[in-house]
Chain A
Amino acid sequence: MIELVGGVLILLGAAFHFSAGLGMLRMPDVYTRMQAATKASTLGNTLVLAGIAFFHPGWSLKLIVIVYFVFMTNPVSSHALARAAHAIRNSMGRTPVVDALSDAPQDRQWVMWRILVAIVVASFGLIFATVAISHVEQQSLRPLAESYVRLVPEALRAPNVVTGILLTYRAFDTLGEVAVLFMVAAGVGLVLTSSERGNDDDPGPGRRAVMQSSEVVRTGAQVLGPLTAIFAAYIIMNGHLSAGGGFQGGAVIASGIVLMLLASPAYQLDLEFLSVAESAAGVLFVVSGIAGLLFAGGFLDNRILPLGDFGAFFSAGAIPLLSVLLGVKVGCELSVILDRFRP
């Protein structure tokens, strides 16, 4: 009985193989021949091997592995052959309805793509609409948030709860994010290595001779440069007292540097100094974290420095110090990244 099923499967497989051979003989051009050969023979192979499994059950695992290999290799290789045939401009038997690999723009494809995008955006929109409608405003804080809002002014003596979270309770995430920034700076430096880019003969956008910037930009930079520096320092130092902190101040530093780069295009940033400053800030950040382990409650605990009076400038333990280190690191990193983009 089992052998009957196996025999029927092998016969079906042979029939598909026969149709593959017939297709190779009768199809008009190389693409349709390839389609007939691949599809029918893959299925024929699978059926024959399945039929053999009924005669020799002990070989089932081996046969499954062979079927898997056939499924992986047959379609992929015929796809590559078809693309190669199209690339050397093999002719098609009749004018095709849709030629997906042709270089000419296809009107039907344009419409189909737009319809597909509309469907995708509409379905996202539906999901988002249910989220937006079912959102209920909180009446009071959730337990974790309430404990943070209570603990930061009390235990850390920092008026700004967000900075207290970022630089003590979740300071490990901040350290991880600093690591991500460093990785990005290294990655951008790798992708935009100027020695490789200088070898092109054709000047690209902005690789003409260095343009002199306009007087408006230069004067604006002269006025705004010192203001931006003071503003950045203020934001960083007052991170624990009012809105601000290391990241925000670092971004303002980088925007000041961008202004200077725009105003004097021939200005060369001292990249060595920036790299040393950035690495030193990062190392000191980790050192103060370890000092927290040794002298206070745990890694990056802020109680290594005296907590001071609530709301005073020198208060909240190590949070101002960590803010400064973070601001220096982020500012230098963003400046180095921005400098890579210059021609």
Chain B
Amino acid sequence: MASNVVLATGLALILVGISGSLLRRDILRIVISFSLIGTGSHIMIVSIGYVKNGTAPIVDRTLSVADAPVRAVDPIPAALVVTAIVIGMAVTAVMLAYAIRLYDSKKTLSIDDFTESKW
């Protein structure tokens, strides 16, 4: 049940990001929307790995080595998402660099003013 709620939250964030990237006119807000899509998908992926009544897959005082295969949650989605977060940040950096160059060329941050490729 808990992971269903988290999964729904992640998917809702992705929906917010999609609608934001389509409806916004300010370039920086579009970049934020893409970042929201990324965050939502990270949350979604981690929530898929939840095991009922499970705990973090780290062996310490609360989780012994023998108990780990029974009570730990899935570590693979967590490992994948660690990578994904860093790469998402890197992609956001590239998008912001492009936003800066677009501003330098037209002195405006509204995508309505970039009409050369408009069909």
Tally of A-B Cβ pairs under 8 angstroms: 161
Q: Is B36 an interface residue (CB 8 A)?
A: no
In B35-90, the 8 Å CB interface with A consists of 48-52, 56-60, 65, 68-70, 72-76, 78-79, 82-83, 85-87, 89-90
A136 to chain B: closest residue by CB: B4
Q: Could you tell me how many residues of chain B have their Cβ less than 8 Å away from some Cβ of chain A?
A: 56
A148 to chain B: closest residue by CB: B75
> Which B residues are within 8 Å of any A CB, using their own CB?
1-4, 7-8, 11-12, 14-15, 18-19, 22-23, 48-52, 56-60, 65, 68-70, 72-76, 78-79, 82-83, 85-87, 89-91, 93-94, 96-98, 100-101, 103-104, 107, 115, 118-119
Given the known inter-chain contacts A137-B50, A146-B69, please indicate yes or no for A132 contacting B4, CB distance below 8 A: yes
Q: Is A120 an interface residue (CB 8 A)?
A: yes
Q: Could you tell me how many residues of chain A have their Cβ less than 8 Å away from some Cβ of chain B?
A: 67
In A167-198, the 8 Å CB interface with B consists of 170, 173-174, 177, 180-181, 184, 187-188, 191-192, 197
Complex contact A137–B52 (CB within 8 A): yes
Complex contact A139–B51 (CB within 8 A): yes
**A145: contacting residue among B12, B65, B74, B107, CB under 8 A:** B74
Q: Give Cα distance in the complex from A243 to B60, angstroms.
A: 11
Complex contact A149–B7 (CB within 8 A): no
Q: Give Cα distance in the complex from A334 to B59, angstroms.
A: 31
B residues near A184, Cβ cutoff 8 Å:
90-91, 93-94
Given the known inter-chain contacts A145-B76, A160-B58, please indicate yes or no for A138 contacting B69, CB distance below 8 A: no
**B72: contacting residue among A139, A141, A166, CB under 8 A:** A141
